[in-house]
Amino acid sequence: MVQKKKEIGLAIVGCGVIGRIRAMLAREYPGIGWIGLCDIDEKIGKKLAEDCQADFFTTNYEELIKRPEVNATIIATDENHHAAPTILAAGLGHDLFIEKPLATEAEESLNVLREIEKNKIDAVVGYTQRFRRRFLVTKERLVTGQIGHVTSVVTRAFMNRMVPIATVRRTNQRHNLTPMVVSGTHSLDMCMWLMEGKKPVSVYAQSIDTALSQYGTKDSTFGIFTMDDGTIFSMNISWALPVVWPGAVYGLEIGIVGTQGVIDIEDTHRDHVMATEIPQGAGYAPEGFKPEYNRHVDFLTSYPPGDIYDGQMWGPVREETNEWYARIHTGLKTPHATAAEAHSNLILTMAMDLSAARNELVKLPLDLAELKR
């Protein structure tokens, strides 16, 4: 039986870098009949409304989400402000796309998840790297048992410090804006997705904050998870590399060892290098952030959402966004992360931070009261 196509009335809350990308793609998608935007910065929001020919703009998210035309909502605000608009949209029955995380506080994230589940909402969360070909093909090989039973996973993420500096400067609520909660969550989500069916039972981690303590965050966090079947998973991230480091945002390596094989993924982008005498700026430039250094060498394709060609964004964020529109419009099955997976990812990243703070093994699943203590 062919599913009747559903016309989308789309609300986008947050008109920054990612909100802009998704809005421009929305205008091109034939199943979207109405677009409304919200941003507290009227100048940024109105410019995007003009560029994507939006039908409505406001600086009040409640006014937008409650519009009768809206049946699907994208939450693309700063990390600390996801919960309230998400809960409102879930209560109104909207399909939801939420940039990660659901929230930056564990109990708040749980409340968001409960509201989504109570209202039986189809909610997905922005773990964009799931839509890249190299990870999709890896998932297929693992699902079909091509390396036997997975026993060990090693992950290393490197980032230059533009991301933490740009992230923490937007808020004074910095205690949970750590390398793992903000950025390591992408690597952790990827590995948990690739290890689907395995449950973590403990984690031991260590952190250091020598370079970035002045910004209220840590430099690096390294940890080891043990899974319920004995599999060990090493999750390591440093987002304190110099601003001049050529990777625009993320350089990732994942090794997956099975009883009958191995998959080794190098996603560092060092195979696509540009060197030029012309200053290249930051390579990562969120609104209002101006690094003091220019760069002359770049690892091309290292910006996770994708790359601009002819004024359009091409890459995984395009796939992720258009697949979500198709998920709503036609009922397409997609590999998006669920709200439950996103909440689990948040708790696991916080468990790493808790272990590092206590300098001891933390048993999982984690009692949220432990985080409050």
Distance CA 317, CA 112 (A): 24
Query: Do 114 and 206 have their domain in common?
Result: no
Tally Cβ neighbours within 10 Å of residue 5: 13
Query: Do 105 and 169 have their domain in common?
Result: no
Query: Do 278 and 168 have their domain in common?
Result: yes
Tally Cβ neighbours within 10 Å of residue 311: 6
Question: What are the tokens at 40?
Answer: 């507290």
Which DSSP letter does residue 2 get? P
The pLDDT value recorded for residue 1 is 42
What angle do the packed helices 42-51 and 17-28 form, to 10 degrees? 20
Side-by-side strand order, sheet with 123-126: 56-58, 32-38, 8-13, 72-75, 95-99, 123-126, 337-338
Residues forming beta bridges with residue 73, ordered by sequence position: 11, 96
The pLDDT value recorded for residue 162 is 84
Note whether residue 45 is domain-resident.
Answer: yes
Question: Cα-flanking dihedrals φ and ψ of residue 331, to 5°?
Answer: 80, 20
CB 14 within 8 A of CB 38: yes
Query: Do 142 and 290 have their domain in common?
Result: yes
Query: Do 257 and 324 have their domain in common?
Result: no
Note whether residue 367 is domain-resident.
Answer: no
CATH code, domain carrying 215 = 3.30.360.10
- Average pLDDT over the chain reads 93
The pLDDT value recorded for residue 288 is 60
Query: Do 152 and 216 have their domain in common?
Result: yes
Residue 176 sits in which domain range? 131-302
Domain count of the fold of the chain: 2
Distance CA 162, CA 54 (A): 31
Which DSSP letter does residue 247 get? B
Per-residue pLDDT 10s for the chain (373 aa) are 446 789 999 999 999 989 999 999 999 999 999 999 999 999 999 999 999 999 999 999 999 999 999 999 999 998 889 999 999 999 999 999 999 999 989 999 999 999 999 999 999 999 999 999 999 999 999 999 999 999 999 999 999 888 888 877 766 555 678 999 989 999 999 999 999 999 999 999 999 999 999 988 999 999 999 999 999 999 999 999 998 888 878 899 999 999 999 999 999 999 999 999 998 765 566 566 677 778 889 999 998 899 999 989 999 999 999 999 999 999 999 999 999 999 999 999 999 999 999 999 999 999 888 777 7
The pLDDT value recorded for residue 295 is 82
Query: Do 291 and 147 have their domain in common?
Result: yes
Query: Do 182 and 277 have their domain in common?
Result: yes
CB 71 within 8 A of CB 90: no
Question: What are the tokens at 177?
Answer: 């804006």
